[in-house]
Amino acid sequence: MRAALQSEIGQDKLEVVDDMEAVGFGPGKVRIRIKATGLCHSDLSAMSGVLPQPAPFIPGHEGSGVIVDVGDGVTSHKIGDRVLVCWLPPCGHCPSCKRGQGHLCLEAFGNVATPNFKRAASDIFGFAGTGTFSEEMVVPAACAIPIPDDLPFDIAALIGCGVTTGLGAAINTAKVEAGSSVAVIGCGGVGISVIQGAKVQGAAQIVAVDPVASRREAALRFGATEAVSPEEFADAKNRITAGEGFDYVFEVVGKSATAQKAYEMTRRGGSVVIVGAGALDDNFQINMFSLFFDEKKLLPSMYGGGDVLRSYERTIALWRAGRIDLENLITHRVGLAEINEALDQMRTGVALRTCIEL
């Protein structure tokens, strides 16, 4: 089958090959024919080494498709089921899951270190234990979440990561209050989803902050009340909050510099929500006096900060009701052969989300 391969960490281009094999099928597993997959910034971070990932590997973790085979013991799925790929399926019995924090389930990462592809005699990993930049993949049945017939494959793919992460950060993690002021630093697909989550929650002011003009324009269409460049951010804070700072500032970039800016732009007693996934050696520093005296809450948000399956259901319900716009998050579409065009679209910021259609 065809797949997009990253041979070594640090390469900025993927090689589309046609001799990849999805392996590991057996009891408890399902085989999925991928129909659509989104390009998430985490894929770029894994390619560059910012996020740890064994190589060689197939990127992609935001996908949807159809089950074409089920292993022994799988009773929850059948051939022909339409599913989205959950790269972090809660096990249900570890301490995190029992506390209602399935998004922090460490057992879900057990699939990451197991190669689920093979090319010739070489083992190939899938990013985050998945690898959706491929025509087919084999994953544990828990990774395949059934979707309703009215949900298109491209929309389902986005719900598998970016939309769930952004909406959940606003709804689950921050619990944005009605009438509050919000700023969002970084307005790609996840940042736009944060904006939509803040709008659903009833925020009065939502300021989008991004260096790319087209993304600022898009943020206004998705619910931001104002969109500014990073250089204009301080002025916006002074105008909108009388210099006090925003009630909530979301960092959706994954850099210590933007996390520091988020902290500075948050009012005393407000919430700094860290949504971007950053590098192990990129340290964020706060002096102890400010940490105590200003009482700003630091709220990291992993995969939407709540029960993953419940978040999927809520997102689908909001989409059906017309409360959120997911169709227009997809600004570009390519085939697998054009995967490197999708990478360039994300790096330059021209795309909110590129959908790779298989």
Q: Tell me: the pLDDT tens digits for 213-225?
A: 999 999 999 999 9
Beta carbons of 62 and 42 less than 8 angstroms apart: no
Pick the residue with more confidence: 176 or 101? 176
pLDDT at 127: 94
| Helical axes 213-221 vs 189-201, angle rounded to 10° | 30
Is pLDDT of 139 > 80? yes
- Which pLDDT belongs to residue 215? 95
**What pairing do the DSSP bridges indicate for beta strands 246-251 and 266-274?**
parallel
pLDDT value of position 92? 84
Pairwise CA distance, residues 174 & 168, whole Å: 8
In this structure, are strands 3-5 and 15-17 parallel, antiparallel, or unpaired? Answer: antiparallel
Range with lowest mean pLDDT among 66-75, 193-202, 234-243, 305-314: 305-314
Cβ partners under 8 Å of residue 209, min gap 6: 183, 184, 185, 186, 187, 227, 228, 229, 230, 233, 236
Residue 137 has pLDDT above 70, yes or no: yes
Q: What is the pLDDT of residues 149-208, one digit of tens each?
A: 999 999 999 999 999 999 999 999 999 999 999 999 999 999 999 999 999 999 999 999
Per-residue pLDDT, averaged over 126-132, amounts to 94
Strands (E), the chain: 3-5, 15-17, 20-22, 29-38, 57-58, 62-70, 82-85, 117-119, 122-126, 136-140, 144-146, 181-185, 205-209, 226-228, 246-251, 266-274, 297-300, 330-335, 353-357
Looking at residue 110, its pLDDT comes to 67
| pLDDT bucket at 101, cuts 50 / 70 / 90 | confident
Peptide bond into 56 cis (omega under 30): yes
pLDDT of residue 343: 95
Whole-angstrom distance, CA of residue 188 vs CA of residue 41 = 9
Residue 114: the pLDDT is 83
Averaged pLDDT of the chain: 94
| pLDDT, average across residues 107-112 | 70
